[in-house]
Structure 1
Amino acid sequence: MNVMVHMIFIMIFLAANNNALAEQVHRYSHRSSGVEKKSLPEKKAGKQNGSAKKAPSKTAKVPQKPKNVSSKPQKKETVPSKAPAKTPTPRPYERNASDSKTEVAQLLQRLAELGAVSSIIPLLQDSDPGVREGAIEVLGQLDAKNAISSLIPLLKDENDSVRNKAIEVLVQFRAREAIPVLVLLLQEKDSQMRINAMAALVRLNARGAIPDMIRLLKDDNTTVRTAAMDSLAELRAKEAVSGISALLQDNDSRIRIRAMEVLALLDGKEAVPGIISLLKDKDDRVRVSAIKALQALDAKEAVTGMMLLLHDNNAEIRSMALSLLRTVKAEEAVPEMIPLLRDGNPGVRINAIAALEELRGEQAVPEMLPLLNDSVGSVRLQAIDSLSRLQKEEFIPHIASLLHDKDERVQTRALELLAEIHRKNAVIPEKKTIADVAALLQSPNKNLRAKAAAALKELDAKEAIPDILPLLKDSEEEVRLEAIRALAQLQATESIPALVHFLKDNEPKIRIAAMGALVVLQGKEAMAEIAPLLKDPVPEVVYATKERLSQLQNPLLTAVISKSVNLLIVLCPILAILPLFLNGAKFFISITVFIGSLFLFRQLANLSLDTPYLKEGALLGNVYLIGVLLIFGAALFLKASWWILVSLIKGSPDGEEDHLEARIK
């Protein structure tokens, strides 16, 4: 009964609330009617004659003269005609502006919460633009696509904010039916409205509006012309190439630059002649953009113009011209490029080296060699890289001298090249080179010390072992690691005591590296030294130790271990279920065998090289063990249940009777 009363109360409350909302909506959607509409002619009349607002109207009644009042006070009778004695009673629709806006916002919020789209749509016709804009926004929040037909007329609203909000929501709704009206907005006097309309058409993928957008390429407003190019670029409107090409002659350099960018995006190869003409533009930015556009269009016909830019006053333009000539394989430009190896700008020299490497190959080596002594380190690096790729024997003798370079980047690159060339069995003056490399082991730069140790390892420089040994005490972990690897590779047995000490180093990487070095230097003798690391607190170290120990095992033993693991994988589940079928002593023996087999499986799996996925800690190994233990637990549970059931049966009177009869028989 109480529930029924509550339900009736809630229904009455909602009905009253909806009626109140409907009344508010009706009042706000008809605020321009009634008394207010009647006052409009009076307002218009007031605009025609400003002074008439204060004078009484012809139809107004003139106040009667009191009987007992003398003629002196008669002058005061004109006062009521200038200002009414009483303040007019405010109409219901007349409110303070801020209060009205607040009330409208609250109303829209309540309608939004109720999802009352049908009550919001009438507010789109409200006389207040703020109400119309708010109603549009709420419809957008509610994703009320059924209101599209009511929103489209607002694209012609006299208020810019209302129109912009209508555009925003219609685009959100992907309302393609709004495209015809949006196309009309491209002819609006307001430039921002034309721009907004283009943006909306792009988002609606209105390719049918492309011809109308092309016309805006001739708009008087620079911003509109730019927006038109951007919109056509987004629509990939290749039919606009001709119209955009015309903008290459625009007075505004920004328009010319953007036109080239869009033409490159649209692959407008027919515009190449116009772009080439801009290589002579007075504006550096325009010339730079022209080079970029021609490079993107792979315009080989621009070679002649590009060669002229190799002598441009702007270093960036000279550098970009080199890049373009390199891209189009302009071998005819090589004679013009060679002098740029001596250009005053390092960036130009770097690009000249790269271009000549690609276009001239080994023939460019004589011109490049002097740049190994360039004053700028980055130029020397480019020369080293190019010469090393050309694989010219003339370059090899210069590597040793680069080890003394003042730029550490150059020294590092020289060390790397030494190792690479040695691996390719090229002839290197080893004694002099090894001495120069060993000197770098004392460098203050940690990376250089590490690279020097690695290079000596690659050069198989056993005579450098005494120089490498001190690096075992280096403060940098990276240097110590490279020293350990180098000493192991060079078979430096004198380093064994230090390596044994490193097995207790605080850094896991050092312990692992030392372990690997001891295995290389001692073989099986290292097993006793590294075995304690099986109890290391770091899992990576434990895993590495097991791997090293496995490597030291006898191949036959390794094969036996692998076969045993595979056998136990099958046997353990069988042994887990076996106790279910055994009684007495056999039952307990089967449990003992199962536990022993499981323990043996775990140990052998950790030693096996063929089944790393079953090692301790591995996901599959853990899943397997849990599965086997579950089988074993299920078998014991069933066995215990059977024992209990048998005991109950034997304890019953019928069971005892059957038992006695069996004994008598």
Structure 2
Amino acid sequence: MHRPPHVLRRNGSVIRLVLSRRHGALLSWALGIVLGLHGGLAASSVSAASSPPKPALTATARQAAAFYKSGEYDRVLQLLQSVAPGQEPDREMIRYALLSQVKLGKPEEAFKLYLRLIPAGQPDDPALLRDVARSFILSRVRDSQEHVRIAAYTALAEIGDKDTLPLLEDGLLDSSALVRARSAEAIGRSGMAGHSSALKRTLRDEAPGVRIAAINALSDAKVSGITEQLTEIARIDEGPESIFALAGLYKLGRTDVLIDISNAATLPDPEVRMAAIGILGRLRRPGSLSILSQAVYDPHPAVRAFAAGALGEYGSPEGVAPLTHSLGDDNPRVRSVALTSLGRLALPETRSVIQPLLRDPDEQVRVSAIEAMLRLGDATAVLNAADLARHPDPSVRGGTAQALAVATAPKALTVLESLLKDQQPLPRLMAARALGKSPLSTVISPLKLGLQDSDAAIRIASAGSLLQALARTGKSGSSR
């Protein structure tokens, strides 16, 4: 039984507007997962990874340590506040105070102490920074504002942390269908789907998008005991959910259902066709390429876009011809997705068909052309990105940030840093997320700035990206 809805404060946030629109299209979001087109907490939930070291402590620091170990976090903070003005507190006292703020679910205050402990220009403490970043996310999973909870569970899905399973299962009971779907996705990415009985119960959720997310997570993990439920869904459902159930059965060994999925790619319902095409792209079966290639001629533009995306997911050079055809589609969304797929194929010979679309009349198509050129290793596309990063439309600037996530040229970081300081929240949000996916090695410092953003959702996104960056570095020393 779901919790009653929370009362939401409405302050005109662009992020809230974007998320509310997505809330009205949960099923489309669930279909998009197949292709990647979208493209205060209890102390026990906080990581203890950064246990304080044990050098020789001053008397005050020993007292702080004693309070911390006994769970008297407020008293640790009182000790710090009792330091006389003009006197610098002991570093270990600051560390214990920081960890106390983390335990109390106050990441903003913890980060202020981190900056006192690790001034600018000094090597970061990865373990300590990791705990602070986790706190930014975990402290917001029960926020009264839906868009903040969505941001928190989105971050959890991206980092795939096994330690958060109880929290993710709690999210399956949220009043928001988007939060529940994100929770199901996060459980799947954490590798814990096989250990979650709550996720199995989500197969009976009232929202189709949530049930689809659960089907994907459970079948990807090859969880036993769901075959009967999936068979029943495939038998009685007439919409996209039945196709996802068939895909789940295929992953569990029922290879005979592939023909049913293939046949669904030509059924009258466009949403069913999209689901089937997306799944065929992901399954990458040899006989499916012809179906995907034919689907770029579908009368429905959304289906053609899914076909273009599925060809990129399929990953065969034989997809170049139908994707090149899609570059001439009247619908800008189709052209945009086709460009993204050509970039994913990473074939140098496609440069000649991608480059002209850097001058496409549609800005979002130009953004996708930039991403495709960057995937081909063309660093000059960063100049095109820098131009679009000054576009008056915040959605174009946000899309530009997303495209720069694949850039390897150091100059891309300068553009992302400028977008992280944008006046509108959407470009800042997309820049924060892009930095988490960026292959560049110098993203820690800008993400630390993102932790100080005025918007809670952007602080959460920055924290999630920071955790991804720290996981990539895997260093015990400097993370700058």
TM normalised by structure 2 equals: 0.34
Higher helix share: 1
- The structure, 1 or 2, with the larger RCO (C-alpha pairs under 8 Å, 6+ apart) is 2
Query: Could you state the TM-score of these two structures normalised by the residue count of structure 1?
Result: 0.25
* Higher radius of gyration, 1 or 2: 1
